[in-house]
Structure 1
């Protein structure tokens, strides 16, 4: 009996031990499970990611997926490689700022190198005094003196402008990061872009400069487009001034061309060529000869010549217009190139028959990009008007002294174009290059703040080149310590003195002839709107009676 009881007690004891071990084991497992932290997973909004599998051991949390691209910081980033904005880049770099050029075009050099627009228009006042100042003077003097005429010579000059300034061509602007400032302005902080090698990069800057021929940056911002020539001509659709296709010829006997032309009597010149002029360097006009050419279609037109002797039998001509070209559309650009270069081959035959010294002329290297004259006009802090130009207005914040006729090149509505007046000289204020409502966006070159009619003059290279250089110097002098908009008249006067002393750029003490003196408000309003065409109006304008 005692033995049996002992066995029963042993079994009970073993059972108790087993139960205790089970409870202890369960409790331990429970504690372990309670201590496992849930994995935190960040799923990018643009990609799909499967849920992680569950295991006893905690998985390694994945790195949070953010768009982390190689990043660079600059004081000034210039978008586009047109000549005008490169002066800003050069001046800012020489003043100690860190500058980079991002070019949306695959090849560097804009209208100069890619369009081969190598016929330079000088700016002069009514007395014939040259208005070209700053670094551009070297280029224009070289062109006039026949030292810079060929594409290779222009290329050498432009390479000097960007020496030691990094340039990336063929970029695509992807994301533009913007913020609102405390004073209710917009500010561009950074841009993510794709390189020509399909790599993503991020760049930040204190100031951004749109130096492209189709407002590559400004058109992506909250900017107001101003009425264009479509309003002036009463057109329904937007249309820009015609693009140009530069024509290059070789094996031209320029000496024979010039000598034969100038041996003719005035009436003979008029009969054979429609007048014009030819000297050792240039052939201008001869519009009677060009009118005799019949284009192959309505989208191309041969106007009067702007021809330059490039030496060695090479001649470059700016005279072939292509209508309804939209520079923001690659397919429109390519169509213009095809139309223009095809027409150039046909024009060659006409020149061989009608121009002395051209009997053995051949086609030279044809451009791969059109000369873009105009795109959209966007509102700046100040928009220049025809009345500003024709009155010779000067501004406290002058960054350029401009001149040149208000030359509206042809459109499909008016193929020959029209001249809207000839200013003596006028000022161009800093405010006309600051994008309205933006804290740090600068316009360069073709993006100048100008009405479509005033743009006929303001667009000319020496005008906006000088402005860009002046702004580059000013940015360097401010060195990020002050915003361009915060400059006072007193501070601007000191900056203009610095430009005069160190760069021989004269922006003050200049007086332009007021050609609309005595006009009333209604006349000025009509001048600015295009209802008055100045050259014809001034011939018939009745002056108000003196009381």
Structure 2
């Protein structure tokens, strides 16, 4: 490990000889703290336990582990990878400022560079990229959380330990300094009795919680992308294209959006589904992936709800393809090219953090003393059954996302990442996209690795962050100041 490599050779020899520091052994070995007094016999202790394998939490885990922390990922899903790998959400949104400059920073710059160049487009490409990220990180999939041991003696509570059942049918216990909620269904935070941030229902004054639709990604082959591109070029100027095909309709050599004047005429077999405007990526060699088939009222915490949604979407997909063949240039010979195993979940419960990002912060380009990310992207609220067409409520310039929006309120040692970011629903419409939250997660992992031996996260001050921002820029090329 890096922290050992940096020791002088004589020190390494002394450590090995005296056996005073147990070396990290990948999970499920429990040598880190077996028999810890506060945890019990057979308990494993870690610096950081990440619940879920969405890419944001993986980046946090990787950054922390690279700096010597003892990390494990416990994933409630049966396979790792979340929406990127299992949901095959391989149509990447990019944050930009008002001058059209990309705001992608950190590790994801490698992913986006490959995506734009065409070297990371297909499922196997994304799988290879994800495998590189998780290499060396111990991970156990298919776990079920059984119980939590919570210390309520201080003003802020803390989680001491977590017990779970593994695929092998046995129960295990882990103890950690920090816990990270990294699922799309609140596997951890949903058990903590914390206050939910109002969601989509607040847009139309609804009384019941409501959520943006999920997506079932459509995978096609035998698409003639050149024909699609040339057909649109023939309809230029762009104003005429958008009058004919609908707002935001656009096609280049790699990506296509819009066509809502056409897709709005599609009549789904099931009222739970809707075909919105296209958001498509050319995966080369006639293969295309499309983020357009919406599914309303999916509860990601309920396996039956997810399974039902996937079944309905798979039944709908052939009919969608037939519609596209008849109505979209270049799709005349299109065929289905397999199905994803899971869904792209945009939105579920989010719980109050120490600072809840607001739409005023986003539109006002507010920067924070404890920035862990720089965000950008339209405040894009996808549809619900009540308001199926959704709404874009504003397009901001760059803005900051503070560490406090990733620290769960009332808990001293719980971090939320990815779609769990603390933000009002309008602010969430922008903050939710992966590059914004992934940069935050990577930054938090680095901060944990470099600061946690000296201070707790919630003890960090503005003066600390002046120093933190300096080394993030100098050592990682991450710029978090305006």
Aligned to 1:72, which of 41, 44, 47?
44
Gaps of 5+ in 2: 1-38
Q: Secondary structure at the match of 1:453?
A: helix
In 2, Cα distance between the equivalents of 1:490 and 1:237? 43
Gaps of 5+ in 1: 1-66, 511-547
In 1, Cα distance between the equivalents of 2:152 and 2:235? 67
Larger radius of gyration: 1
Please say if residues 97 and 479 of structure 1, whose CA atoms lie closer than 8 Å, have aligned partners that are also in contact. Answer: no
What is the aligned partner in structure 1 of residue 271 from structure 2?
298
TM-score (norm 2): 0.89
In 2, Cα distance between the equivalents of 1:462 and 1:203? 30
Is 2:459 the counterpart of 1:486? yes
Aligned to 1:216, which of 173, 187, 195?
187
> How many residue pairs get matched?
442
- Give the stretch that moved more between structures: 273-282 or 463-472: 273-282
Is 2:153 the counterpart of 1:185? no
What is the aligned partner in structure 2 of residue 535 from structure 1?
none
In 2, Cα distance between the equivalents of 1:483 and 1:271? 55
In 2, Cα distance between the equivalents of 1:264 and 1:128? 25
Q: Residues 66-145 of structure 1: matches in 2 within 5 Å?
A: 70-145=42-117
Q: CA deviation at 1:334?
A: 1.0
Q: CA deviation at 1:268?
A: 7.0
Aligned to 1:250, which of 221, 226, 235?
221
Considering only aligned residues, what root-mean-square deviation do their CA atoms show, in Å?
1.5
What is the aligned partner in structure 2 of residue 498 from structure 1?
471
Q: Secondary structure at the match of 2:257?
A: strand
In 1, Cα distance between the equivalents of 2:351 and 2:329? 46
- CA deviations over 1:277-306 (Å, ceiling 9, x no partner): 111101110111111212223211111110
Please say if residues 206 and 480 of structure 1, whose CA atoms lie closer than 8 Å, have aligned partners that are also in contact. Answer: no
Q: Secondary structure at the match of 2:341?
A: coil
- Give the stretch that moved more between structures: 123-132 or 225-234: 225-234
In 1, Cα distance between the equivalents of 2:458 and 2:165? 31
Q: CA deviation at 1:272?
A: 5.6
Please say if residues 270 and 312 of structure 2, whose CA atoms lie closer than 8 Å, have aligned partners that are also in contact. Answer: no
Please say if residues 174 and 193 of structure 1, whose CA atoms lie closer than 8 Å, have aligned partners that are also in contact. Answer: yes
TM-score (norm 1): 0.79
Distance 1:337 1:218, change over 3 A: same
Q: Secondary structure at the match of 1:490?
A: helix
Q: Secondary structure at the match of 1:102?
A: strand
Q: CA deviation at 1:70?
A: 3.1
In 2, Cα distance between the equivalents of 1:455 and 1:398? 16
Is 2:392 the counterpart of 1:405? no
Q: CA deviation at 1:269?
A: 4.1
In 1, Cα distance between the equivalents of 2:109 and 2:242? 35
In 1, Cα distance between the equivalents of 2:111 and 2:146? 35
In 2, Cα distance between the equivalents of 1:174 and 1:69? 17
Q: CA deviation at 1:260?
A: 2.4
What is the aligned partner in structure 1 of residue 336 from structure 2?
363
Q: Secondary structure at the match of 1:454?
A: helix
